[in-house]
Amino acid sequence: MSKVLWAGRLEEKPEDEAFAFQASISVDRRLALDDIRGSRAHALMLGRQGIIPAETAAALDAELERMAAELESGALEIDETAEDIHSFIEGVLTERLGDAGRTIHAGRSRNDQVALDFRLCLKRRVPEILAELAETLRVLLDRAEEHAASVMPGYTHLQRAQPVTLGHHLVAWCAGLERDYGRFEDALSRLDECPLGAGALAGSTLPLDREAVARDLGFGGPTLNSMDSVAGRDFALELASACAILMTHLSRFCEDIAIWASEEFKFVDLAEKWSTGSSIMPQKKNPDFAELIRGKAARTAGSLTTLITLLKGLPYAYNKDLQEDKEALFDSLDTVRSCLRMFRGMTGSAVFNTPRMEAACTGGFLEATDAAEYLVRRGLPFRKAHEAAALVVRDCAAAGQRTIAERSLPELKARSNLFEADIYTALTPRACVEARNLPGGPAPQEVLRQIAALRGKRGL
Ligand code: ARG
């Protein structure tokens, strides 16, 4: 087991099980390259500021660079019995360089170090999520464009409500995902401050150059306040929240898909390679990917709860509780990444049963609102128009008719004199959709405009 960093103060060390309990290497090993990056910038700054000799700084930088390459090639393995990634990196450095290695921690604490590593890691990971999100949007927008004119029922209360288009439904999904993109971008812009130099909580008496180190590491600038730097984790909370909201979206989309894939709906046929079978029922083709993505949304909601509960009531500044932050957020980010990739594969290859969708618009009186609005256009107050259309629907039901258009003009006129022969062309599902061409509506041209707007906004 490598030597702990605090061995000078305490004569005794926790027993193995207790030591392992408080260790974080199993999680923060993922920060190894970030820790090295931060350490290199810190060492070079110490050299430039005359806090350590220039040659020592150069030696530290070179050795850290070598260690990064060795970690990547597998030549250097992370010691799972180390306390955390910071101790491990400093330990190896000291083993290899002797006293030079012992100079690097000047003006630094693991408290600002871990805050830095975490932020550096997120500055790498969040753009990956953004790229996955953009690609997912691209796939969905392509599908929406393909189906801009495919008529389908829109639902409220899971009851057929009014005709829309599949393109319109898919753009509804995309609108949420596009805001998710913005949430990740926002979080990224707010975490773009470098905590190095905050030390344990109160900065340092050494002449550190916080500005330079922040710049070298690609941050917008140093953090404002040293206590906030080591205690603040709202950046993690914000990202966990962005992950949970995104997963809530995916989970709802997946619920739509699972419903559409049912025998009762049959609106979508998922590709065989994006489905699974049953071990006992030979006929089954299950939408497992949709279900699992829906299920995994629970993990991200859980991580958000973990983080917000972790921070609630935590006194300033650093407390070891904060060590729990990374596992929760890493799990959320991993979940989001894999779910976006799976969701994209599944939706990109799905075959939509457009004849069946269009047929489902007939028979449930989805045109009733259009009949009422027809009367409004002819001057009838809406409440009266609503009543007249409702009475027509009741007449149809009593006569065993499936659509308003099955009634003769005199029959319609019995409910409102304002009905004329043009009512018959106004009430087909396609006519209903085409007439809804307000901004935001389901008319094919309007759906194409919405698609173009989203593409334009995100360069898709
Ligand atoms: N493993 C710790 C964490 O993840 C690093 C900071 C430890 N600082 C300390 N004083 N024990 O938060």
Given the DSSP bridges, would you call strands 221-222 and 193-194 parallel, antiparallel or unpaired? parallel
Tally of residues, the chain: 460
Yes or no: say if 223 and 256 are a contact pair by the CB < 8 Å rule: no
Yes or no: say if 112 and 213 are a contact pair by the CB < 8 Å rule: no
What whole-number distance in Å separates Cα of residue 297 and Cα of residue 304? 11
Report the candidate in 67, 69, 46, 68 with the shortest Cα–Cα distance to residue 57. Answer: 46
126 C-alpha to center of ligand 1: Å?
Answer: 23
- For residue 140, the model assigns a pLDDT of 98
CATH superfamily of 16-106: Fumarase/aspartase (N-terminal domain) (1.10.275.10)
Helix (H) or strand (E) holding 193: strand 193-194
Which residue's CA is minimally distant from atom 4 of ligand 1?
Answer: 323
3-state helix, strand, coil in the chain (%, to 5): 65, 5, 30
- Lookup result for tokens 């190896």: 92
Yes or no: say if 319 and 312 are a contact pair by the CB < 8 Å rule: no
What whole-number distance in Å separates Cα of residue 117 and Cα of residue 36? 9
- For residue 144, the model assigns a pLDDT of 98
pLDDT in tens, 54-90: 999 999 999 999 999 999 999 999 999 999 999 999 9
pLDDT in tens, 81-104: 999 999 999 999 999 999 999 999
pLDDT in tens, 363-378: 999 999 999 999 999 9
Residues in the chain with pLDDT < 70?
1-3
pLDDT in tens, 125-174: 999 999 999 999 999 999 999 999 999 999 999 999 999 999 999 999 99
Yes or no: say if 357 and 326 are a contact pair by the CB < 8 Å rule: no
CA distances (Å), origin 248, targets 104, 176, 254:
44, 10, 10
Q: What topology is assigned to 115-152+165-202+228-352 in CATH? A: Fumarase C; Chain A, domain 2 (1.20.200)
* Three-state DSSP class for residue 3: coil
Domain assignments of the chain as residue spans, ordered by start: 16-106, 115-152+165-202+228-352, 368-458
- For residue 3, the model assigns a pLDDT of 66
Ligand 1 environment, Cβ below 6 A: 24, 28, 84, 110-111, 114, 320, 322-323
**pTM of the model as a whole:** 0.94
Which residue's CA is minimally distant from atom 12 of ligand 1?
Answer: 323
* Three-state DSSP class for residue 352: strand
Tokens of 374: 């027809």
157 is catalytic: yes
Catalytic residue among 2, 26, 251, 278: 278
Q: Which of 5, 21, 24, 310 to mutate to test the pocket of ligand 1 (most atoms within 8 A of CB)?
A: 24
Which residue's CA is minimally distant from atom 3 of ligand 1?
Answer: 323
- Return the ligand 1 atom nearest residue 23 CA: 1
Tokens of 264: 């009762």
340: Cα separation from own chain's centroid: 8
Catalytic residue among 157, 189, 279, 408: 157
Read off the DSSP letter of residue 139. H
- For residue 388, the model assigns a pLDDT of 97
What whole-number distance in Å separates Cα of residue 179 and Cα of residue 289? 24
What whole-number distance in Å separates Cα of residue 41 and Cα of residue 53? 15
Yes or no: say if 193 and 222 are a contact pair by the CB < 8 Å rule: yes
Tokens of 121: 């890691």
- For residue 2, the model assigns a pLDDT of 57
Yes or no: say if 237 and 307 are a contact pair by the CB < 8 Å rule: yes
Taking the CA atoms of 381, 382, 383 and 388 in sequence, report the sign of the dihedral they define: positive
What whole-number distance in Å separates Cα of residue 249 and Cα of residue 258? 14
Long-range contacts of 155-163 (CB under 8 A, 24+ apart): 158/259, 159/364, 160/360, 160/361, 160/364, 160/366, 161/366, 162/366, 162/369, 162/370, 162/432, 163/361, 163/366, 163/367, 163/429, 163/430, 163/432, 163/433, 163/442
CATH topology of 16-106 equal to that of 115-152+165-202+228-352?
no
Q: Which of 89, 320, 330 to mutate to test the pocket of ligand 1 (most atoms within 8 A of CB)?
A: 320
Read off the DSSP letter of residue 314. P
Tokens of 355: 């004849």
What whole-number distance in Å separates Cα of residue 351 and Cα of residue 142? 13
Q: Which of 114, 120, 329 to mutate to test the pocket of ligand 1 (most atoms within 8 A of CB)?
A: 114
CATH of domain 368-458: 1.10.40.30
